[in-house]
Amino acid sequence: MSANRPPALTDRAALARFRDRARRDPAFFLQDDAADEVQDRLIEVNRTFTKPAIVTPFPEVWEGRLPGAKIIADDEVLDLEEGAHDLVIHALALHWADDPLGQIIQSRRALQPDGLFMGVMFGGQSLNELRAVLAQAESDVTGGLSPRVVPMGEIRDLGALLQRAGFALPVADGFTRTVLYRDLLHLVRDLRAMGEVNALAGRHKAPMKRAMLIRAAQLYVETYADAEGRLPATVETLFLTGWAPSDTQQKPLRPGSAAHRLAEALGTKETGLEPAPFSADRPAKD
């Protein structure tokens, strides 16, 4: 490993094992939900894409959704040819990437001019209830703290990654949903069946202590259970959208260059601002 390279966030070998286990008895409802949303958004774009590529750890989720799409794994170096695609979808894998910006830049290079990138990932509000109870339970039982849930990006930061990658018209948005569970073990089973259990490189390799699991389940009920005793799990899904730069794209007007007033477009009378009732004194110079 290079001396200048930061330590890995994700244990890729463990992540591959967890994903293989998930395929044997999957619960891909969140992956299916994200794929449905991507398709809805592509319909709104109102453009026919003929050379799509999809970066995903679970090709079965995308089977038949975009005919002719090239399906590739979310490896550190993506198997994408430069300038070969008019659409690249990065599907629910960026939150496991050690270098999400690098993944986005590789996707950008694979696009033709005016090609579309759409990245979908779990956001920082996901599983906030589980993070809280695991942290408190570990502190109560062992007196320490260790990483239990992968850190996920915040929407205010992810939009900047699109700009750094060189995309035009970058947009970052998302939504949250709440999934209800009978108990903590029900939630853990679903996470395993999604391939989304703890694969952090810095995790404890030993199984969680029974006392800690019992304490976490107790805290979850005490803190978050609804009137019927169901446990909520927040899922935040974020979407990153950007276009490969092209001379054909519409450019924003220079400030002050508008040819028409807003009042004319609205069919109303323009009223000037009243002068300020007072003005603050300027600070004296030294």
Q: Which of the two residues, 280 and 156, has the higher pLDDT score?
A: 156
CATH number, domain with residue 40: 3.40.50.150
Domain assignment present for residue 224? The answer is yes
**Least confident segment among 110-124, 219-233, 250-264, 265-279:** 265-279
Domain assignment present for residue 142? The answer is yes
Using CB atoms within 10 Å of the CB of residue 265, give its burial: 0 to 12 exposed, 13 to 18 middle, 19+ buried: exposed
Domain assignment present for residue 263? The answer is no
pLDDT tens digits along 87-107: 999 999 999 998 999 999 999
Domain assignment present for residue 261? The answer is no
What integer pLDDT is reported at residue 263 of this predicted model? 60
Q: Which of 108, 103, 15, 92 is nearest to 56 (CA)?
A: 92
Number of domains in the chain: 1
Q: Which of the two residues, 260 and 215, has the higher pLDDT score?
A: 215
Q: Average pLDDT over the chain, rounded to whole?
A: 85
The residue written with tokens 């090609």 in the block is 115
Question: Does residue 259 carry a pLDDT above 90?
Answer: no
Give the range of the structural domain holding residue 81, as residue numbers without chain letter. 12-248
Q: How confident is the model at residue 130 (pLDDT cuts 50, 70, 90)?
A: very high
Q: Which of 69, 157, 61 is nearest to 110 (CA)?
A: 69
pLDDT tens digits along 205-253: 667 788 989 999 999 999 999 999 999 999 999 999 999 998 776 665 5
pLDDT tens digits along 38-88: 999 999 998 899 999 999 999 999 999 998 999 999 999 999 999 999 999
Using CB atoms within 10 Å of the CB of residue 121, give its burial: 0 to 12 exposed, 13 to 18 middle, 19+ buried: buried
CA distance from start to end of the chain = 56
What integer pLDDT is reported at residue 241 of this predicted model? 95
What integer pLDDT is reported at residue 4 of this predicted model? 61
**Least confident segment among 7-16, 51-60, 262-271:** 262-271
Q: Which amino acid is at 117?
A: F
Q: What is the CA radius of gyration of the chain?
A: 24
